[in-house]
């Protein structure tokens, strides 16, 4: 994984519906493409609440993380998982 870059982004959590929304513009600025994997972790630091890491398709990180995508998204080819 490359050295981290810090960017501000909006992430909304709707606890009642177990739903969250991430404004994707920042992820695209990171070079994300369809099919890449994004890992989001809560870190609760003074300068950040969440950490978002991008794993590009075809990289060793992507291959390692892909195994963890065990849950399906309804009406979508997208998958997700827990670390």
Nearest to 65 by CA among 44, 78, 83: 83
Is a pLDDT exceeding 70 seen at residue 83?
Answer: yes
Model confidence over 1-48: pLDDT tens digits?
455 666 677 777 777 777 777 777 878 888 889 899 988 888 878 877
pLDDT for residue 4: 62
The string of pLDDT tens digits covering residues 42-75 is: 887 887 777 888 899 999 999 999 999 999 988 8
More confident residue, 6 or 80: 80
The CA angle 42-26-58, to the nearest 5 degrees, is 85
């Amino acid at each position: 994984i490359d050295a981290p870059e810090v960017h501000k982004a909006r992430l909304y959590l709707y606890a009642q519906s177990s739903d969250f929304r991430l404004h994707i513009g920042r992820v695209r600025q990171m070079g994300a493409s369809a099919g890449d994997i994004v890992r989001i972790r809560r870190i609760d630091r003074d300068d950040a609440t969440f950490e978002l890491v991008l794993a590009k398709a075809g990289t060793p990180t992507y291959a390692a993380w892909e195994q963890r995508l065990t849950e399906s998204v309804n009406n979508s080819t997208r998958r997700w998982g827990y670390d």
